Structure 1
């Protein structure tokens, strides 16, 4: 399978109560590594949001780096989706071929 068609995954961590001003990319990878990221996220009870475009952008962010300001709005929308999902207000089906494990702490 070509790199263009391999599954990719990126994981974010964000704690709104901490002094960290933006979410950080704490894991990312392609192929088998991406599968492992998604599997571990699911095993840990984390939500996996399927968003190939978002993952593509996050793959460009250095590991353990804060997301750049250009991604704030997109990630804020993702965190809002997660909040709605956790509160039971939305049950959105997953789409796409890439995964984005997310966690609010």
Structure 2
């Protein structure tokens, strides 16, 4: 059985690209997911993206080949966040 992996990203205006703020496997991944959930941070499951991002180090910006995928996720999060705020 493969160990669960998790990667947290942060993006603010002015950033060149999103940066890795947390990553881990197994119990660390579970802690990242639980912390995000407790703080109402949206969680998106994407195994392929997680595999690619898990090769990076803390503080790294995402590589250009992942921009489109991550941009789609950020747009999705903005859409669901605005719907929640309007509710």
> RMSD of the TM alignment (CA)?
1.3
Could you list the runs of 4 or more consecutive aligned residues of structure 1 that deviate by over 3 angstroms after TM superposition? none
**Any idea what SS the aligned residue of 2:83 has?**
coil
Q: Which of 67, 70, 83 is 1:72 aligned to? A: 67
- More relative contact order in 1 or in 2 (CA 8 Å, sep 6+)? 1
Structure 2 portions without partners, runs of 5+: none
Q: Which of 3, 15, 19 is 1:20 aligned to? A: 15
2:55 corresponding residue in structure 1: 60
State how far apart, in whole Å, the 2-side matches of 1:64 and 1:74 are.
19
**Any idea what SS the aligned residue of 1:86 has?**
helix
1:11 aligns with 2:1: no
TM-score by length of 1: 0.75
Higher strand share: 1
State how far apart, in whole Å, the 2-side matches of 1:31 and 1:77 are.
26
2:43 corresponding residue in structure 1: 48
State how far apart, in whole Å, the 1-side matches of 2:49 and 2:80 are.
18
Cα deviations by residue, 1:1-46 (Å, 9 ceiling, x for unpaired): 4xxx110000000012xx3211000100000000000000111110
Q: How many pairs does the alignment contain?
A: 84
